[in-house]
Amino acid sequence: MGARARLLGLAKGNSMTPEQARPGMWVKVTEHHRIAERRGLVGKVVARYGGEEFVAVDVRLADGQMRLFWPRDLEEISSPRAWWRFVLGGDAAG
């Protein structure tokens, strides 16, 4: 994460950087998202907007809704199936 982002206090845990955000990747909304109801939601990045420092991404959530997020509010996951296996206890069929 760049010096500007650190200065603004945007570096948090496993949060994604603008450089990492790209269409096609699976993401989970972080636990520090300002809207509690969106925390933990899973979806796929479908579009990326902005330049080098200010980037926003459109995410199609599991329920079909599209939401715009800052990359710092997302963390990459391997896939929804792997994520659900983890939640269900490791070896559960997915």
Q: Report pLDDT digits (tens) over 29-55.
A: 999 999 999 999 999 999 999 987 799
Task: Please report the domains of the chain, with CATH numbers, ordered by start residue.
Answer: 3-88 (2.30.30.30)
Q: Report pLDDT digits (tens) over 48-80.
A: 999 877 999 999 999 999 999 999 999 999 876
pTM: 0.69
83-90, Cβ contacts within 8 angstroms, sequence gap of 24 or more:
83/26, 83/28, 83/42
Asked if residue 20 has pLDDT above 80, the reply is yes
Asked if residue 6 has pLDDT above 80, the reply is no
- Quote the CA–CA distance of 46 and 59 in Å, as a whole number: 6
